């Protein structure tokens, strides 16, 4: 395989390790949510609904103080672990670059302090118009969970529910909060891995000055990631990078300059999970070309009925389903962009 195929193979396989690491961190996220729920239930006690309004407000204020404390502790725990992961990921990406181009090529080692500062300041572009730093994402999540618990309690009081009923409602919110917390954990883990790779690429621009977006070839991949799959971006700093959304599984791989690509011109492979199950495909297969080879039922499961028809019969590329910012276009917006195709297909 070529040098670029070698490093893409190594880094996409490493993405599986990152996802497993994130899964291991999900237990801490679940424990954090469980503690929030437990604190709320304990503060409610047995007679909350019988207390005076002033006393209820004091209990709620005490609860919010405790929840804020728990949120702060959890945020610092996540950031500390992210720092450790970042250091490991920088080392891994350096080794991957050395393995790809050979030990005779000098690889620049980024300064740890600068890498850590960059990770904390870099935005995760999780929405087309809004970005979060890791700390901001954790703080926002904590505030929203606090407000959610508070709203459950206030709604219960307003509706005249008993303390036991209010406590049960708080408990019932736990599973959804846990899923949201684990989603945030996976998203942050991917962000850390991408930032480590980005800084290694940035410090070694003489070897690689561009990167390729690599999405997962299966039915769960988002339209934004599918549309960017196999796209090569020339600006390491300004161009988009994963995570493009919560639970994003995409990664990036550096594109080695031709003078350092000493491998054979033989294409590698990449994994995919289509309608017929797991199957390797050519390494340069894009999500769009892969999806076109899947049965119509699979395309509908991924795109929905109307988009699947446009994709298959209208021959509209998957990139047309999102705008330049990565936002998925509505069907009405698509109709304005492709009026003749809609008319020809009778939809």
What is the average per-residue pLDDT within 8-30? 92
Spatial contact of 148 and 142, defined as CB atoms under 8 Å apart: no
Spatial contact of 157 and 59, defined as CB atoms under 8 Å apart: no
Cα separation, 185 vs 141, whole angstroms: 11
Q: Cβ–Cβ contacts within 10 Å for residue 339, how many?
A: 10
Buried b (16+ CB within 10 A) or exposed e, 172-197: ebbeebbebbbbbbbbbbbbbbbbbb
Q: What is the pLDDT of residue 266?
A: 59
Q: What is the pLDDT of residue 140?
A: 93
Percent pLDDT > 90 in the chain is: 76
What is the average per-residue pLDDT within 141-164? 94
Torsions phi, psi of 170, nearest 5?
-65, -45
Cα separation, 210 vs 235, whole angstroms: 6
Q: What is the pLDDT of residue 326?
A: 85
Examine the pLDDT at 128 and tell me if it is beyond 80: no
Q: Label each residue of the chain as H, E or C.
A: CCHHHHHHHHHHHHHHHHHHHHHHHHHHHHHHHHHHHHHHHHHHCCCHHHCCHHHHHHHHHHHHHHHHHHHHHHHHHHHHHHHHHHHHHHHHHHHHHHHHHCCCCCCCCCCHHHHHHHHHHCCEEEECCEEECHHHHHHHHHHHHHHHHHHHHHHHHHCCCCHHHHHHHHHHCHHHHHHHHHHHHHHHHHHHHHHHHHHHHHHCCCCEEEEEEECCCCCCCCHHHHHHCCCEECCCCCCCCCCCCCCCCCEEEEEECHHHCCCCCCCCEECCEECCEECCEECCCCHHHHHHCCCHHHHHHHHCHHHHHHHHCCCCCHHHHECCCCCECCHHHHHHHCHHHHHHHCC
Query: Confidence band (pLDDT; 50, 70, 90) for 123?
Result: confident
Percent pLDDT > 70 in the chain is: 97
Peptide bond connecting 243 to the previous residue in cis, omega within 30 degrees of 0:
yes
For the chain, give the mean pLDDT: 92
pLDDT tens-digit series, residues 212-251: 999 999 999 999 999 999 999 999 988 999 999 999 999 9
Let me know the angle formed at the C-alpha of 160 by 156 and 161, rounded to the nearest 5 degrees. Answer: 55
Q: What's the whole-model pTM score? A: 0.91
Examine the pLDDT at 262 and tell me if it is beyond 70: no
Spatial contact of 213 and 229, defined as CB atoms under 8 Å apart: yes
Query: Confidence band (pLDDT; 50, 70, 90) for 325?
Result: confident
Spatial contact of 81 and 138, defined as CB atoms under 8 Å apart: no
pLDDT tens-digit series, residues 92-114: 999 999 988 887 889 998 888 88
Examine the pLDDT at 74 and tell me if it is beyond 90: yes
Cα separation, 296 vs 315, whole angstroms: 13
What is the average per-residue pLDDT within 58-63? 94
Q: What is the pLDDT of residue 1?
A: 61
Q: What is the pLDDT of residue 260?
A: 85
pLDDT tens-digit series, residues 162-208: 999 999 999 999 999 999 999 999 999 999 999 999 999 999 999 99
Q: What is the pLDDT of residue 33?
A: 97
Q: What is the pLDDT of residue 267?
A: 67
Q: What is the pLDDT of residue 268?
A: 77
């Amino acid at each position: 395989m070529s040098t670029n195929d070698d490093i893409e193979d190594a880094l996409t396989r490493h993405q599986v390790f990152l996802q497993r690491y994130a899964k291991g961190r999900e237990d801490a996220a679940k424990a954090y949510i469980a503690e929030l729920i437990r604190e709320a239930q304990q503060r409610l006690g047995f007679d909350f609904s019988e207390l005076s309004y002033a006393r209820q407000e004091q209990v709620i204020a005490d609860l919010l103080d405790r929840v804020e404390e728990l949120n702060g502790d959890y945020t610092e725990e996540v950031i500390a672990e992210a720092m450790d992961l970042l250091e490991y990921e920088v080392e891994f990406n350096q080794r991957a670059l050395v393995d790809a181009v050979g030990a005779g090529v000098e690889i620049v080692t980024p300064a740890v302090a600068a890498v850590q500062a960059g990770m904390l300041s870099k935005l995760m572009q999780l929405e087309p118009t809004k970005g979060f730093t890791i700390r901001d994402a954790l703080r926002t999540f904590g505030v929203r969970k606090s407000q959610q618990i508070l709203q459950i309690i206030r709604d219960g009081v307003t509706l005249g529910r008993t303390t036991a009923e209010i406590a049960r409602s708080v408990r019932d919110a736990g599973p959804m909060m846990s899923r949201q917390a684990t989603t945030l954990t996976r998203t942050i883990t991917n962000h850390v891995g991408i930032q480590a790779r980005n800084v290694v690429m940035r410090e070694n621009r003489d070897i690689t000055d561009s990167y390729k977006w690599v999405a997962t070839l299966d039915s769960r991949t988002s339209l934004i990631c599918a549309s960017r799959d196999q796209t090569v971006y020339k600006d390491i700093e300004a161009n988009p990078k994963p995570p493009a959304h919560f639970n994003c599984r995409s990664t990036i791989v550096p594109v080695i300059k031709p003078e350092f690509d000493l491998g054979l011109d033989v294409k590698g492979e990449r994994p995919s999970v289509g309608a017929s199950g797991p199957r390797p495909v050519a390494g340069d297969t894009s999500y769009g070309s892969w999806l076109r080879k899947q049965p119509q039922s699979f395309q509908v499961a991924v795109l929905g009925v109307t988009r699947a028809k446009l994709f298959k019969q209208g021959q509209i590329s998957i990139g047309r389903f999102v705008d330049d910012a990565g936002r998925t276009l509505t069907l009405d917006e698509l109709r304005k962009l492709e009026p003749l195709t809609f008319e020809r297909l009778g939809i």
